[in-house]
A and B are shown apart, each in its own frame.
Chain A
Amino acid sequence: MPCSSLLDLSRRACIRNIDGITDVGDLPYHLLRPILLKVENPEQLREIETASPQICGHDAELWRAFMKRDIPNWEKKPHEPRNPNSWGKVYRKLLREDEEEQRQSEEALRAALNIRKEEKEKNQATIIHKAIDPEKRKARPAAKSSSTALLSFGGGSRTKTNTAQGVLDRARRETQETRNARNSALTMPTHLLNVKASQVRQAPRGMVVGYNRPAPPKIVGSSISRPAPIFISRPVVTDRDRALNAAIRSEREEKERRLKALTGLSNTGAQKPLAPPRVPGARGIASLPGIAAAGSPTSRTASPAPAPAPQQRKRPGYDPFMAVKRRKV
């Protein structure tokens, strides 16, 4: 007969509709074998087993096929059931074990990767997008927490702070700018600009020291209008020095009188600049060179000055508050 038997026909029909089969009734295994071989899903096979237990012992080969397909290394594991009817259980057990192993290895891998990642992050700098100056923070407490958005409308800057290098550069620049701003002359308020220049808060130290010293005795007849210039800030003047100075002065006065008497009429007489007698061993006579310096110019000016004594001075006398004359070099 050319056409296939009803058995074959129905078998083929069953295989075509394999997905819907959950119960094979009481059909014997030898009939069902070709159909069950086509079952893809172990769960389905389990259902069929439950519904039709008569196939249980015979479907060992089916479960073996499933194990081969789904479980790696199934030969190494104990895969023979004690009860020949419970192949399904063996398969399920092995599958569960396999899944467990996979999960564990996945966990181990993830942990290993995380360790690497954590170590890397430890060495990296976290970028804080807003650094608050501690002084300014006191003035501005509790501003709203800003988002770390990199795009903000109207907010641009020369130094982009999206990298660690950028953050450092910006911090450096900001500290420099604040330092400059704090120390610059531009920070002087306008209403104090001219005030500070003319205010005198303290007396100049040199004058204070000079005030404390005993005033030099007035030289009669000589118009010393210029006090002795002080070259050293703290001159040590002892009694001996004062006595010495007094002696020197009196001698000089004597000599001046004589000189005036001699050269009283002629202004351009050769004038020997008086050199005060050098006293050996006199130390710390700070006023000596001062007096010497004062002596020589005053002696020169003294001679022309007393001659036209009643005449007025052409130029004003020395005034410490006078502006210093600038000499062109």
Chain B
Amino acid sequence: MAETTDYVTLISNDGFEFVMQRSSACIAEAIKRMLDPRRSASDKQDVRTDPLKDNFSEAQTNTCKFENISGVVLEKVCEYLYYHEKFRDQKDVPDMDIPPELCLELLMAADYLNV
């Protein structure tokens, strides 16, 4: 049985680990699904094809490994997730700062994570 802890770990392809609250992490749809205790690997209702073979282990260990996202980008993703959480109830929030060298990769990651 999977234990739903408060914190989840996101691991980048170069080995960086980021620990963050589950509630923030699950803003990202993909992460939410990955961490969600799945009923079965071949669940047809799951629209997105899960790139990770082992869903179960994810749910058990509360970690998500991303093979296609680098550490720096993942860090920015985490920052965004917290930013999102923070300004959840506000309007006209200022944009988060994104350095130019990351913006394309971030775009890629954002598309993958559907966030």
Contacts and interface: CB of A to CB of B under 8 A. Distances in A.
Interface stretch (A10-18, A199-207, A258-266): A10-18
Contacts of A21: 104
A27 B103 CA distance: 12
Contact of A27 (B98, B100, B104): B104
A2 B107 contact: no
Size category of the B interface is 20 to 34
Q: Is the interface of B mostly helix, strand, loop or mixed?
A: helix
Nearest to B28: A6
A9 B98 contact: yes
B93 interface: yes
A282 interface: no
Interface in B69-115: 77, 80, 83-84, 87-93, 95-96, 98, 100, 103-111, 113, 115
B95 A4 contact: yes
B90 A6 contact: no
Given A7-B115, A24-B104, A2 B77 contact: no
Contacts of B105: 25
A184 interface: no
A31 B108 CA distance: 9
Given A10-B103, A20-B100, A3 B108 contact: no
Interface residues of A, number: 22
Contacts of A13: 98, 100, 103, 106
A31 B103 contact: no
Given A2-B93, A13-B98, A20-B100, A7 B107 contact: yes
B93 A10 contact: no
A1 interface: yes
Contacts of A11: 107
Give the interface centre of A7, A11, A21 by most chain B CB atoms within 10 Å.
A7
B84 A31 contact: no
Contacts of B83: 3
Contacts of A311: none
Interface in A19-35: 20-21, 24-25, 27-28, 31
Contact of A2 (B87, B108, B109): B87
A21 to B, nearest CB: 7
Interface of B: 77, 80, 83-84, 87-93, 95-96, 98, 100, 103-111, 113, 115
Interface of A: 1-7, 9-14, 16-17, 20-21, 24-25, 27-28, 31
Given A3-B84, A6-B106, A14-B103, 13 more contacts: A2-B87, A3-B87, A4-B95, A6-B115, A7-B110, A9-B80, A9-B106, A10-B103, A10-B104, A14-B107, A21-B104, A27-B107, A27-B108
8 contacts: A1-B84, A2-B87, A2-B88, A4-B95, A7-B115, A14-B107, A21-B104, A31-B107
